[in-house]
Structure 1
Amino acid sequence: MSATRLLVLGIVRGYGRAHGYRVGNDLLSWGADEWANVKWGSIYHALKSLTQGGFLLDHNDIPGRTDYELTERGEAEFMRLLRDAVRHPQPRPDFLGAALAMLPSLPRAEAIRLLRERLTTLEEARDKALAQVDALVDPPHVREMFGLWEHNAASSADWTRGLIERLEAGAYPMAGEPGSPGRPGSWPDLLFPPYPPRE
């Protein structure tokens, strides 16, 4: 799974139609170059390969600028990547970060269901690592590795539980709800201040 692929599809989907500079500018303003290792080259590579794969349609209406929009195949791929990133914990944080950036594209009930799947997987990983800590005899220092895994899974499970509770309480407008930024083409009026603030 590629976080860059999910993010690029999501931004083009959000605007309805976007050029490469806009996609890259948004991603860099979110700090995705740090938490997802997104670079200008990877953004343009993703746009090119997604277009060649039939996920994006390119338009050259303005000389010197290419705009992109999702095809039906691109919408299906975006939703597949988003659902997988929400439901399946990964060792790297970029997949979850990309999913959280696009979370309102999911209906509330579906997001909660996918997060519950994630929570179950995290709790199983926590319990397995804890059992490994308890069972390990030799070499003793390896307990630290299993302890780290147990700690990471436990803290991720706590955070996931909290997000489920916030969504169940009505936090954030989700797909199909008034004011949701999850509808295709709903972003032109949104403002994304740089985070972290950049000089």
Structure 2
Amino acid sequence: MSATRLLVLGVVRGHGRAHGYLIGTDLLSWGAGEWAHVKWGSIYHALKQLTKDGCLTDHTSPPGRTEYEITARGEAEYRRLLRDALRRPETRPDTLAAGLAMLPSLTRDDALALLGERLAALEGHRDTAREQADRWRDPPHVRELYGLWEHTAAGGAEWTRGLVERLRAGAYPLAGEPNSPGEPGSWARLKLEQPGGHEGER
């Protein structure tokens, strides 16, 4: 639910105001059905729950269509979910994927700081698993479990380190930078500035 919650808040925030069909079309055009397990039902459930929680406000517009707008509480929840998705290696892969999809909402300094936390935690997990594998004796096959954890953490650390290097080198326009899609309400403007783009392209 947290991945869908983060993505729905991010899409509404990006458009400034959006109806359910637009939100779903955007997310599914990104392939979020595969990497974040987003479905139409989960999108509408998230919209209903986020509105109930005070994170979104709804407006009825002709012809009886409901549009959603993010509230101050929703902005705070969005920021919390986004930061946790990027800095905590314990997050599920779909939550990390959602965080990466919304990465431009962060400033470069914030993104680097959060990913630095993630990298340090992963390197700690890697080293701990290696030590546990070295100490393990009986039954011997259990050592493979620690080897799996070490390998997974090491791979995650390598990927995170690469992303940090790319961001430090200036990759991707982030919040506060020219042409960033990370500012609230910026997506419609960016679409207009990119003729020839297809629906859902950001």
- TM-score category (smaller protein): over 0.9
Flag as ranges the 4+ runs of structure 1 deviating above 4 A. Answer: 191-195
Q: Tell me the equivalent position of 1:81.
A: 81
CA distance in structure 2 between the partners assigned to 1:143 and 1:161 by the alignment: 27
TM-score relative to the length of structure 1: 0.93
CA distance in structure 2 between the partners assigned to 1:148 and 1:67 by the alignment: 46
Distance 1:180 1:91, change over 3 A: closer
Matching of residue 135 in structure 1 with residue 135 in structure 2: yes
Q: Tell me the equivalent position of 1:150.
A: 150
Q: Tell me the equivalent position of 2:92.
A: 92
| 1:84-121 residue CA offsets vs partner (Å, 9 max, x unmatched) | 11111125211110000000100000100110000010
Amino acid at match of 1:105: S
Amino acid at match of 1:16: G
Amino acid at match of 1:63: P
| 1:163-199 residue CA offsets vs partner (Å, 9 max, x unmatched) | 111111111111001110000011124456789xxxx
Distance 1:39 1:82, change over 3 A: same
Amino acid at match of 1:161: R
Amino acid at match of 1:104: P
Instruction: Classify the secondary structure of the residue corresponding to 1:170.
Output: coil
Q: Tell me the equivalent position of 1:5.
A: 5
Stretch deviating more after TM superposition (30-39 or 77-86) = 30-39
| 1:39-96 residue CA offsets vs partner (Å, 9 max, x unmatched) | 1111100000100111001010122311101011111110111111111112521111
Instruction: Classify the secondary structure of the residue corresponding to 1:182.
Output: coil
2:17 and 2:67 in contact (8 A); partners too: yes
Amino acid at match of 2:140: P
Amino acid at match of 1:51: T
RMSD: 1.6
Q: Tell me the equivalent position of 1:187.
A: 187
1:26 and 1:192 in contact (8 A); partners too: no
Unaligned runs of 5+ in 2: 192-196
Stretch deviating more after TM superposition (41-50 or 143-152) = 143-152
Q: Tell me the equivalent position of 1:165.
A: 165
Stretch deviating more after TM superposition (9-18 or 87-96) = 87-96
CA distance in structure 1 between the partners assigned to 2:47 and 2:185 by the alignment: 18
Q: CA deviation at 1:144?
A: 1.4
Q: CA deviation at 1:145?
A: 1.4
Unaligned runs of 5+ in 1: none
Give me the identity figure in percent.
68
2:3 and 2:98 in contact (8 A); partners too: yes
TM-score relative to the length of structure 2: 0.92
| 1:13-57 residue CA offsets vs partner (Å, 9 max, x unmatched) | 011111111111111112211221111111100000100111001
Q: CA deviation at 1:137?
A: 0.8
1:29 and 1:192 in contact (8 A); partners too: no
Q: Note the 1:55-70 alignment, pairs <5 A.
A: 55-70=55-70
